Structure 1
Amino acid sequence: MIAGMESSTHFFTASPPWVMALAAAAIAAYLVPALGARRLADGPTRLAMRAAWVLHLLTVAAGLMTSPARFGFAPALSMTAWLMLTVYAIEQQLYPKLRAVGVLSVLGALAVLLAQIFPGKPMAVHASAWLPLHLALGIASYGLSAAAVVHAGLMSRAERRMRSASNDESGMPLLMLERLTFRFVAAGFVLLSATLLAGLLFGESLYGRAWVWDHKTIFSLLAWMAFALLLVGRSRFGWRGRHAVHLIYAGAALLLLAYAGSRFVLEVVMLGHGS
């Protein structure tokens, strides 16, 4: 029992005070639009989101630059949320009436908080120089898949509002949302393919072991198959609407289970049983 308790502290080591201060500031900035998105004007809302975006980036960078650098399921989710917010910030410049700030700011705050509670385990000192690139590809595929999920949700909402003849608060035509959704799916699929291929060809140099059929690999391949099926169905059979959205959700859920889910089990569930 004592050994289990000692191992659990390996994952729950508190961040340095200055990192926690950055995280608290990021969470506070996210809560401004999260709690007052409908009451605040566009100017203060965008200012708060920009401040939260910068503080979130600094928090992510601080977690990687502290000694030893730590990584796990929660930092991966935090990076995913930041990438998703980056995509939203760029899109809002092109489509000012796009409205998803309330949900995204809540997700951003939760992601930052979760990364402080579960900072992960120290990364290997003698890891391959290519490992950061491999992790970056995986996180980027996470972020683009998350963006696809957000747009799929907006697309479903726009479709429901169109059927009920009510105004669409997203401010974007349904066909435009659909086009953007599938672009994110395609881009995420390309990056996921590159991540899997790198793991297959260079797994031994990256992680010190060859390709292993573990939970992460199986869920990643299932996610790849779901997105591949969706893209083929879209190209060959014109899949769209509810069936396409459900496949996007399924692929994203499988991808979430691949790394974040498996790491959560190892970092939290298994250690909890060990204590």
Structure 2
Amino acid sequence: MILTSSSPVSWLLALAAAVAYAVPAAAASRLGAAAARNALLVAWLLHGAVLVWGLWGDAPRFGFAPALSMTAWLVLTVYAVERQLFPQMQSRWVLAGLGAAAIVLAMLFPGQPLHVTASAWLPLHLALGIACYGLFAAAVVHAWLMTRAERHIRQAEDPHSGIPLLTLERLTFRFVTAGFVLLTATLLAGWLFGETLYGRAWRWDHKAVFSMLSWLTFATLLLGRARFGWRGRNAVRVLYAGSALLLLAYVGSRFVLEVVLGRSA
């Protein structure tokens, strides 16, 4: 753990965000809808401030835990938007707990300092890559909701208790498509401008291999849906497999380096 490596401002912002998330997570049954929504909004804003300070503050840092933290923030952003369109969504306390856990993990493992010689475009490239994580994480959440909706239908439960199944399926693949576009752009940027961004040309390390495997998996999923109409459990399994590979690409590699091996690169 390298908690003391974080800047005081980052630490205070993270602590405030974690506490703000804990309120709707721990007191979901006692808070009214408006109070819980306002508490989650405050936590979301503080969480965003933590992420901005971590990348562009006095001592920029990044690693596997900040990447997960940014992913959680993006999933919460998607939830906030969809909650306006689908008021029947009732996962507020679960997402608040996810946000609090992500914040605490990033406090404990704030990552390694970005090199002073790194390109000024590096934080943007990192943000672009993590946006892929957020979109695919949102796709995974919707795929899980889709699987649960299918189970409710098979068990003859109330079909109007959540988002319609076809809507969930459509949203799932929209997130997959958007994530695939960003993943493609991220890989191309790393391949074409790796020396400018990281001070070294593209190389086939564990991160690159897992990233390409995930890209191929998602490409297969989208092609299979477009050409062969893939849907249901088989499509969800491919989505889960691609997401697991993508998680291993950066988060898994950085976890091994930072926590298991205790080094930055």
Q: TM bucket by the smaller chain?
A: over 0.9
Aligned 1:1-275 pairs, distance under 5 A: 11-167=2-158, 171-271=162-262
1:220 Cα deviation (Å)?
Answer: 0.5
CA deviation digits over 1:235-254, x for unaligned, max 9?
Answer: 11111111111111111111
8 Å contact kept, 1:14–1:116: no
Distance in 2 (CA, whole Å) between partners of 1:38 and 1:171 is: 19
Which AA in structure 1 matches 2:100? A
Distance in 2 (CA, whole Å) between partners of 1:170 and 1:198 is: 43
Higher relative contact order (CA 8 A, sep 6+): 1
Distance in 2 (CA, whole Å) between partners of 1:264 and 1:20 is: 21
Distance in 2 (CA, whole Å) between partners of 1:15 and 1:129 is: 21
RMSD of aligned Cα (Å): 1.7
Q: Which moved more, 1:93-102 or 1:141-150?
A: 93-102
1:168 Cα deviation (Å)?
Answer: 5.3
Normalising by structure 1, report the TM-score: 0.90
8 Å contact kept, 2:55–2:123: no
Distance in 2 (CA, whole Å) between partners of 1:25 and 1:43 is: 20
CA deviation digits over 1:124-169, x for unaligned, max 9?
Answer: 1121233222212101111101100111111111111111111358
Percent sequence identity is 64
Please, which runs of 5 or more residues in structure 1 have no aligned partner?
A: 1-7
1:66 Cα deviation (Å)?
Answer: 3.4
Which AA in structure 1 matches 2:245? L
Normalising by structure 2, report the TM-score: 0.93
Describe the SS at the equivalent of 1:271: coil
Distance in 2 (CA, whole Å) between partners of 1:203 and 1:210 is: 5
Describe the SS at the equivalent of 2:158: coil
8 Å contact kept, 1:100–1:170: no
1:189 Cα deviation (Å)?
Answer: 0.3
Distance in 1 (CA, whole Å) between partners of 2:213 and 2:253 is: 14
Q: Which moved more, 1:84-93 or 1:33-42?
A: 33-42
Distance in 1 (CA, whole Å) between partners of 2:200 and 2:119 is: 12
Distance in 2 (CA, whole Å) between partners of 1:24 and 1:169 is: 39
Q: 1:177 to 1:57 in 2, by over 3 A?
A: same
Q: Which moved more, 1:239-248 or 1:101-110?
A: 101-110
Distance in 2 (CA, whole Å) between partners of 1:204 and 1:19 is: 30
8 Å contact kept, 1:13–1:119: no
Which AA in structure 2 matches 1:248? L
1:109 Cα deviation (Å)?
Answer: 0.7
Q: How many residues align?
A: 263
Which AA in structure 2 matches 1:54? L
Distance in 1 (CA, whole Å) between partners of 2:64 and 2:158 is: 39
Describe the SS at the equivalent of 2:41: helix
Which AA in structure 2 matches 1:112? I
Please, which runs of 5 or more residues in structure 2 have no aligned partner?
A: none
